[in-house]
Chains A and B, each alone.
Chain A
Amino acid sequence: MNDIKAAFKNGKAFIPFVTAGDPDLETTEKLLIEMSKNGADIIEIGIPFSDPIAEGVVIQEADLRSLKGGTTTDKIFDMVEKIRPQVQCALAVMTYMNPIFVYGTDKFMKRCAECNISAVIVPDTPFEEKQELAPYAEKYGIDVISLIAPTSHDRIKMIAKEAQGFVYCVSSMGVTGVRSEITTDIGEMVRLVRSVSDIPCAVGFGISTPEQAKKMAEYADGVIVGSAIVKIVAKYGRDSVEPVVEYVRSMKEAIS
């Protein structure tokens, strides 16, 4: 059983996201270690991109802060490799196609494997373009996570049939960011996935409160939270470890 599958064996999975290098890589190190000890089942490590078209303002700004601070893909991999023994959960990276492609997709997947990163999430690379990633990911045993959206409808079965790791259910239209209400019929999305595959489904985009997380967990196997955590990091900077850990704990409790 790989790390991603294992992450869903322990009740509903809580999947926090952080932008690597925001405010600096030392803080990211601590966040990864401490979140893994306090309820994270998988952590999504965001490799910053200059033009993240699927992100709302909160993560856009985190990406720019990180890049301005001199963060690079190599520095992120080196950091993860160094602290990996202390991180007690599965890891995934989330970034855009260009940083992977320009780094060299083969080399990127190789570095993921060396860092014991189990999966990649690339929101601007849909099903039709997955050959850009799949052959390289397969070579190193990395899962390419598929996303499904409220507009996917008849595409869901096609996508789910070939999905690896877990299916990322995009809860809402638009970009990432905190939302007061989620109106999409997540249950129906999950049901369509289930009709062709027993792969776990995790819901992301817009979730910030324990109440929302609890509600989403009724339909899905896991809950992904990004902007709400990045907001805490933006507010507390180098002192964000404690408030983030507290938040992660409360979210994991809410879905347990």
Chain B
Amino acid sequence: MSKGKFGIHGGQFVPETLMNAVNEFEEAYNKYKNDPEFVEELNTLLREYAGRPSLLYYAEKMTKDLGGAKIYLKREDLNHTGSHKINNCLGQCLLAQKMGKTRVIAETGAGQHGVATATAAALLGMECEIFMGKEDTVRQALNVYRMRLLGAKVNAVETGTMTLKDAVNEAMREWTNRVSDTHYVLGSVMGPHPFPTVVRDFQSVIGKEIKSQLMEKEGRLPDAVIACVGGGSNAMGAFYDFINEKDVALIGCEAAGLGVDNTKNAATIANGTLGIFHGMKSYFCQNEYGQIAPVYSISAGLDYPGIGPEHANLHDTGRAQYVPVTDDEAVDAFEYLSRTEGIIPAIESAHAVAYCKKLAPTMDKDKIIVVNLSGRGDKDVAAIARYRGENIYE
């Protein structure tokens, strides 16, 4: 029986070699997720090590400048390692340790998930190997060194398009090669069951905090929550606690690269079709024969040809809305937030800021938007400079 379904999406499409591993992972998760000791251990790490709760910041200057809805920023960029990725990595690595695993592997695009995994592994004393597309190791050389500093081995993946999807392929291949002592720390709400559920649960702390923090500040729920979506982990984490609050609009921002009508984009909901890949049924950018398309975005973290199955279902049911944001719009928003609020967002998160800039002026002043600022932009500064024609290298 197929498990882990979100509407028609999800499932467990992995080689037989991995079936016992994903089943054991599911059993362990079910055992520990409500275990008071495990929950306390994880919460302590999140609080004392990762710096949670992250701030919910009222962006007053941005609000006044745009002249519409009141804008709050959920500051996941202030977490240790600089993004929301640490929430999931601490959870999964701790769980892997409970399962008796001594080694973790992970894929990474821009390097944020790789750095977060390497960090959690260092803290918990686990061996760590990261798979990163060769293209991305060049684009994000500093993050490669950062992971090595943290004690991880970084493998440059030279197969296929040498980007994030190939890093996932290679991490899966490595997992089939060595499964007994190794856990694969998947970085997003994707892959075979139970990963989409586990990663969503570990990230759902974002939405829970938004809810209670906004309740304290405003005494009410937001009118819209906006987040960027590649695989979709920060968005799923921000959305999850609001799914049953029907008056809260949930908006995911996809990377439209050079535009949805151009072939160089990664807008899966706008351009993708139903498929079965990387362990799950969902939407993918692909051709009529099911060959996965090479995708493009200025943001290495959104440069992925699929989307998590729960997002695919939120799209099908109309509960969430997915909008494309181009490179140009994201770079504008990156610069805008930097000079308006003094906050340099990750280029991924800048996609969400860009859509907020469009939406806020159309809403009344008594409305509230929360933007999930999933990561900080230090890693992107050199790339944005180059985008603007300044020849800066890290």
Contact = CB atoms under 8 A, between A and B. Distances in A.
Interface of A: 49-51, 53-54, 56-57, 60, 64, 67, 72-74, 96-103, 123-129, 131-132, 147-153, 155, 159, 170, 173-175
A77 to B, nearest CB: 11
B290 A102 contact: yes
A149 B169 contact: no
A139 to B, nearest CB: 19
Contacts of B273: 102
Given A50-B292, A51-B277, A174-B176, A97 B13 contact: yes
Given A51-B169, A151-B179, A153-B20, A101 B14 contact: no
Contacts of A50: 160, 291-292
B248 interface: no
B15 A54 contact: yes
Interface in B270-291: 273-279, 281, 284, 286, 288-291
Interface of B: 1-3, 11-21, 159-160, 165-166, 169, 172-173, 176-179, 273-279, 281, 284, 286, 288-292
A147 B17 CA distance: 9
Residue from B17, B274, B292 with most neighbouring chain A CB atoms (10 Å): B17
A159 B173 CA distance: 22
Given A51-B277, A98-B284, A127-B16, 14 more contacts: A50-B291, A51-B160, A60-B159, A72-B289, A102-B275, A126-B13, A128-B2, A128-B12, A147-B16, A149-B15, A151-B19, A173-B176, A174-B177, A175-B173
Contacts of B288: 102
Given A51-B169, A64-B160, A99 B17 contact: no
B290 A98 contact: yes
Contacts of B173: 53-54, 56, 174-175
A88 to B, nearest CB: 29
B290 A100 contact: yes
25 contacts: A51-B292, A53-B173, A54-B15, A57-B159, A60-B160, A97-B13, A98-B286, A100-B290, A101-B290, A102-B274, A102-B286, A103-B290, A123-B16, A124-B13, A127-B19, A128-B19, A129-B11, A132-B2, A132-B13, A151-B16, A151-B18, A152-B19, A155-B20, A174-B177, A174-B178
